[in-house]
Amino acid sequence: MNRFVIAEPQLCIGCNTCMAACTEAHKAVGLQSYPRLSVTRTAQYTAPLLCRQCEDAPCARVCPVNAITLGPDAIILNESLCIGCKLCGLACPFGAITPSGSTPVNMPTLFTHFIPSQQLADVPESPKNMNPFLAWNAGIRNVAVKCDLCDFHPDGPQCVQVCPTNALVLVDDDAVEQTNQRRRLYAARGLSADLDIASHTTPGQE
C-alpha cells in the first residue's frame, strides 16, 4: 500500500503553517518551493489537500517522459525529467498536482522573436491570479509539483510535523492495521453487549 497524508477538517484551523513548512523544506534541498499542498476552504471547514499517492496513478500513466513513477510506497515525480506538459495535473482526480516554475539565469529582458505586432517589446505577464494551468509567462520553465512525502527528510512529511492541531496524519500500513484493530475491538464490544442483553431478556420481553 502506498503511504499518503490525510487531513481532518474538524481539527484544521486554516493557519497555512503546513504550506509554509512544505515550502521551506523543499527550498532547502533545491526543489521547487511551491507548496505541495493547498489549504481548501468551505463555508464550515478548512483542510489541506495533498496527493493521495493513488495505486493506479493516472498522473504516471499520462506522463509522456516517465517523469512520474511508482516507488516502493509512493508515487515519485522527478523534476529534472519533467517537461512541463501539464498532462499529469489535468489527469489528477484530486487536483493535487500544480505546475510551477522558476526563471532561468540567462533569460533575456526583451523578446524580439515571434511577436509580430510588438517587436522589441516586453512580453506581457499573465495576471497574478491566473490559474497556473493557463499562465503564459515567457521564460518560466514549468514543472509539475506534487507531494513527495518529504522522502528526503529523516522526519518524514514536514506538514505533519508542524501542524499545531495534529490535523494531518501520515497513513501507512501500520496506521491502517491499528485502525482495523480498533474497529475489531469496537465490533467485539458491541457484539458482547448485544449478547449480554439477550442473555438477560426473558421470553415475552423482546
Provide the pLDDT confidence category of residue 16 given band limits of 50, 70 and 90. very high
Q: What is the percent of the chain with per-residue pLDDT over 70, rounded to a whole number?
A: 80
| Number of independent structural domains in the chain | 2
Asked if 44 and 122 sit in the same domain, the reply is yes
Q: How far apart are CA 2 and CA 75, in angstroms?
A: 8
Specify the 3-state DSSP secondary structure of 180. helix
- Does residue 198 register a pLDDT over 70? no
Q: Is the pLDDT of residue 201 over 80?
A: no
- For the cut 80, the answer to whether the pLDDT of residue 87 exceeds it is yes
Same domain, 199 and 157: no
Q: Kindly state whether residues 187 and 155 are assigned to the same domain.
A: no
Q: What's the rounded Cα separation, in Å, for the pair 164 and 14?
A: 11
Task: Provide the pLDDT for residue 122.
Answer: 58
Residues 191 and 106 placed together within one structural domain of the fold: no
Mind listing the pLDDT tens digit for each residue in 115-156? 444 444 556 778 878 888 888 777 677 889 999 999 999 999
Give yes or no for residue 171 having a pLDDT over 70: yes
Note whether 162 and 190 are same-domain residues.
Answer: no
What pLDDT is recorded for position 199?
62
179, 158: one domain: no
* 73 & 105 share domain: yes
DSSP labels, 131-169: -TTT---TT-EEEEE---TTTTSTT--HHHHH-TT--EE
Give pLDDT, residue 125.
77
Give the other-Cβ count within 10 Å of 201's Cβ.
10
Residues 190 and 137 in one domain: no
- Let me know how long the chain is: 206
- Where is 75: in which H helix or E strand? strand 75-77
Residue 118 confidence (pLDDT): 47
Angle in degrees, CA 43, 49, 54, rounded to 5: 135
Same domain flag for 100 and 150:
yes
Cell digits of residue 76: 515519485
**Are residue 150 and residue 202 in the same domain, yes or no?**
no
Q: Is the pLDDT of residue 75 over 50?
A: yes
Residue 204 and residue 106 share a domain: no
Split at pLDDT 50, 70, 90, the class of 112 is low
Percent over 90 (pLDDT), the chain: 46
Best CA proximity match to 36, nearest among 163, 168, 171, 159: 159
Name the residue range of residue 48's domain: 4-171
Q: Which residues touch 16 (CB under 8 Å, ≥6 apart)?
A: 39
For the stretch 180-191, pLDDT in tens is 788 888 888 776
Is 70 exceeded by the pLDDT of residue 98? yes
Question: What's the pLDDT score for residue 120?
Answer: 40
pLDDT band at residue 114 using 50, 70 and 90 as cut-offs: low
Residue 178 has pLDDT above 90, yes or no: no
In this structure, the answer to whether residues 138 and 194 fall within a common structural domain is no
Q: What share of the chain is helix, strand, coil (3-state, %, to 5)?
A: 25, 15, 55
